[in-house]
Amino acid sequence: METLKQRVAEAAAEALGIALEEARSALEPPRDPRMGDLALPCFALAKRLGRNPAEIAAAAAARMRCAPPLASVRAAGPYLNFAFVPGAVADAVIGRVLAEGQAFGTSRAGAGQTVVIDFSSPNIAKPFGIHHLRSTVIGAAIGRILRARGHDVVGINHLGDWGTQFGQLIVAFRRWGDEERLAAGKIPYLLELYVRFNAEKKEQPALQDEARAAFRALELGDPQARALWRRFREVSEAEFRRIYDLLGVRFEHFTGESFYEEHMPAVVAELERQGLLVESEDATIVDLGADGLGVSIIKKADDSTLYMTRDLAAAIYRFETFRFSRALYVVGAAQTLHFKQMFRVLELLGRPFAKHMAHVPFGLLRFRDAKMSTREGRVIYLEEVLERAVELARSKIREKNPGLEDADRVARAVGIGAVVFNDLKNRRIKDVTFDWDEILAFEGDTGPYLQYAHARIASVFRKAARQPAALLGPFRFALLDSQVERDLTRAVSLYLEAVARAAAEHEPSIISQHLLDLAAVLNRFYIECRILGVDPDLSEARLALVRAAQITLRNGLALLGLEAPDEM
Ligand code: ARG
């Protein structure tokens, strides 16, 4: 496709009298595919010349000579539209996809650049929250997308494993807890202790002082307090790891907030030295009022540090360790102010890398089923949600394809995939509703629908008794001349742009939406075109086309974190 684009750019640059690079970068796929394969808007040029863009387009169209691979040049209002001879685009695209296979969609565009992604980051001793699911799924997808672009990606799980709440938990455990029940009850048991502490604190305010002292002891390295805290972390991490296994997510580092404990004094000292710290009523702060960002609390009266202090230490540590060209924080939109403050404080500290840090926010996840809502006082355990999704997928599959071998593995791929895709389908900043019927439907904008589109192509090959790898060509792609065949070829080719945009915008939904578009074109294709039992050359070219679509679907789903079974 790049060579085709180059040819058009050369011809257009000459006809319009502009630089080759200007023509190249202005060329884009027309929004309406019936307009051709590439379009060149003439607005910018018209503005520069003080002329009417439609006139410029018309004059250039009349001036240009068409030679293959170019079939036609037409002016449509302010646009110049180009169409290639039948088969030219398919020739350029499909052969490449078949040859590249799994590597189709990858590039070296980001080579030599390290991106650090802070994602998932749940709080220990608490259930893995539903908003942490979003962070996990979105962060992991962004990581895969950037890796596919050649970046070095460092995924960090910044576990919430430090802070005054662990003083509370230590006190609660000492008073009411026991190890046996912890071993059996795990996180729900810790949650129970935490809830009890907060209830009893209302009657006995002294508990709060005790908890504060316990956290101080923990910070100062008291061995008993440390041992208990380590136990809480262990129990929690074991549960979190099971969830990550189910989701197929991994991290390069599991460095929680506690890891930065020893790095904090240096940050606080530096803030002090630069005269940024102000003593306020009962805390030490950085005043960001001048930036309209309020105050950022660095230390409490009893000297204990905060989330912000740890984040500042972590940011500096990450830059010094990884020399990142970008650092991302995939965290809910509720923490927008926190990140603005943090980046600003780093700037005030004279750290230029602050400019290369970004908060990647996302909206809320809500359950449609009222019984699943936390407001009813019920805690949602993510592991249960994932297991239920697999269960529901299993019964659907049993009903649709009773003889399926490997049904367990497929049910897992479909169930988990349904939950994951639901989180990645729309722009991340939008809120997401979680509706069991909707996410698992085989029709509609769902993960299972895309997996089915992929499996259906595998079944075409089974029916034809052909191995996709034995599809060797040469192909007569000029036979793929109907609108829907051109549309399908174009959807495959535009996948590359979707990946590039998703990477630039940290927006996996660009890939999700592109795959949904591709699947919709595939459905039209099946209605209008037969693959088997037609002229052998045509059949072969169509097999190559759907195989390219299948590879695209599989690669795109993999970037999002979904498997693509061959049968379901
Ligand atoms: N543990 C935090 C929470 O649950 C999220 C941490 C995000 N990462 C960070 N570096 N602040 O709200």
Q: How many residues does the chain have?
A: 568
Q: Which of 120, 159, 335 to mutate to test the pocket of ligand 1 (most atoms within 8 A of CB)?
A: 335
User: Is 11 within a domain?
Assistant: yes
Q: Is the pLDDT of residue 373 over 60?
A: no
The CATH number given to whatever domain includes residue 400 is 1.10.730.10
Domain boundary among 315, 336, 367: 367
Binding pocket residue ranges, ligand 1, CB within 6 Å: 118, 121, 123, 158, 160, 311, 329, 331
Q: Whose CA is nearest to atom 3 of ligand 1?
A: 122
Question: Which atom of ligand 1 sits closest to the CA of residue 132?
Answer: 4
Residue 158, classed as helix, strand or coil, is coil
Instruction: Give the C-alpha separation, 117 to 155, whole Å.
Output: 5
Domain boundary among 85, 106, 138: 85
- Contacts of 547 by beta carbon, 8 Å cutoff, 6+ apart: 97, 98, 457, 461, 468, 471
pLDDT for the residue 472: 87
Q: Is the pLDDT of residue 135 over 90?
A: yes
Report the percentage of the chain scoring pLDDT > 70: 98
User: Is 273 within a domain?
Assistant: no
The pLDDT of 137-144, averaged and rounded, is: 98
Instruction: Report the candidate in 4, 7, 71, 82 with the shortest Cα–Cα distance to residue 40.
Output: 82
Q: Find the DSSP H helices in 177-329.
A: 179-203, 206-219, 223-247, 264-273, 307-322
* 195 shares a domain with 136: yes
* 357 shares a domain with 240: yes
Instruction: List residues bridging with 160 in a β-sheet.
Output: 123
* 198 shares a domain with 71: no
Which pLDDT band holds residue 130 (cuts at 50, 70, 90)? confident
Which pLDDT band holds residue 370 (cuts at 50, 70, 90)? low
Q: How far away, in angstroms, is 560 Cα from ligand 1 center?
A: 22
* 534 shares a domain with 439: yes
Number of independent structural domains in the chain: 3
Q: Domain containing 69: what range?
A: 2-85
Q: How far away, in angstroms, is 260 Cα from ligand 1 center?
A: 14
Domain boundary among 29, 64, 85: 85
The CATH number given to whatever domain includes residue 59 is 3.30.1360.70
* 501 shares a domain with 415: yes
> In the block, which residue shows the tokens 């309209």?
292
Question: Which atom of ligand 1 sits closest to the CA of residue 129?
Answer: 4
* 333 shares a domain with 387: no
User: Is 375 within a domain?
Assistant: no
* 58 shares a domain with 135: no
Contact present, 493 and 112 (Cβ < 8 Å): no
Question: Which atom of ligand 1 sits closest to the CA of residue 123?
Answer: 1
The pLDDT of 14-23, averaged and rounded, is: 92
pLDDT in tens, 199-220: 999 999 999 999 999 999 998 9
User: Is 55 within a domain?
Assistant: yes
User: Is 147 within a domain?
Assistant: yes
* 386 shares a domain with 363: no
The encoded tokens of residue 39 equal: 């379009």
* 213 shares a domain with 80: no
The pLDDT of 350-369, averaged and rounded, is: 93
pLDDT for the residue 522: 98
* 350 shares a domain with 490: no
pLDDT in tens, 63-92: 998 889 999 999 999 999 999 998 999 999
User: Is 296 within a domain?
Assistant: no
User: Is 418 within a domain?
Assistant: yes
User: Is 423 within a domain?
Assistant: yes
pLDDT in tens, 485-512: 999 999 999 999 999 999 999 999 999 9
The CATH number given to whatever domain includes residue 169 is 3.40.50.620
* 194 shares a domain with 57: no
The encoded tokens of residue 236 equal: 């929690």
The pLDDT of 230-259, averaged and rounded, is: 95
Regarding pTM above 0.85, the answer is yes
Mean pLDDT of the chain: 94
* 246 shares a domain with 329: yes
pLDDT for the residue 557: 98
Q: Is the pLDDT of residue 263 over 70?
A: yes
pLDDT for the residue 304: 73
